[in-house]
Structure 1
Amino acid sequence: MPVASAEIVQSQSQAQASPPSRIGRKAISGYFSQEMSLAMHLCARRRGISLQDLMAEAFNDVLRKHGESPIGK
């Protein structure tokens, strides 16, 4: 099988294995202190939103701070 075809098949199988909420999205991760992790989780919980939504809000704030347009979720 040519490489391009193999990549397409692999991409399709990964998309089928992903939950619908992840299709077309890319993970961004980092390593933070336990204190930062706890603070972020507690903040999200107090506001009744997911950690992912809280992080999207924070990333959009950083984009605005640096003169970029916010992207959304």
Structure 2
Amino acid sequence: MRVTINGDAREVPDGTTVAQAVRILTGVTTGVAVAVNDEVVTRGTWETTPLRDSDRVEVLTAVQGG
């Protein structure tokens, strides 16, 4: 199945969840927000939210600095 994660097309196995997509991109789970097709996915549902072919996933990480 093909999805777009942060603008990059990626091939992922069928049934890949939002949590797995986050792990593909980064090992960090704190300070992270995820949207699928422009809809925010709450952290409590990452493990149970499957991705579908052609989904657009945005994984945003908080950055501290000045």
What's the TM-score, normalizing by structure 1? 0.19
TM-score between both structures, scaled by the size of structure 2: 0.20
- Higher strand proportion (structure 1 or 2): 2
Greater RCO (Cα-Cα under 8 Å, separation 6 or more): 2
Larger Rg: 1
